[in-house]
Amino acid sequence: MTTKTIKNMEEFASASGISRPTLSRKYFNDPLSVRGSTRSKIGSGARAV
């Protein structure tokens, strides 16, 4: 079984189905400015990694 290793924020954003700027600027600097559905995608992506 092989799993893809996520090496940077760009790969994580892509795997989560969101843009890197949204992940970087919005989520990490002001999480409440991101829609709940987007926060869910980020959370699901983080749990999958």
Q: Is residue 20 part of a domain?
A: yes
38 Cβ partners below 8 Å, 6+ apart? 18, 22, 26, 27
Q: What letter would DSSP give residue 27?
A: I
Q: Return the pLDDT at 5.
A: 84
Residue range 1-49, pLDDT digits in tens:
556 788 898 998 888 888 998 888 777 788 888 888 988 888 888 887 7
Q: Is residue 4 part of a domain?
A: no
> How many structural domains is the chain composed of?
1
Evaluate whether 43 touches 19 at the Cβ level (below 8 Å): no
Q: The pTM is what?
A: 0.67
* Environment class of 14 (CB within 10 Å of its CB; exposed 0-12, middle 13-18, buried 19+): middle
Query: Residue 15 belongs to what domain range?
Result: 9-48
Q: Return the pLDDT at 10.
A: 92
Task: Find the helix or strand (DSSP H, E) in which 44 lies.
Answer: helix 36-48
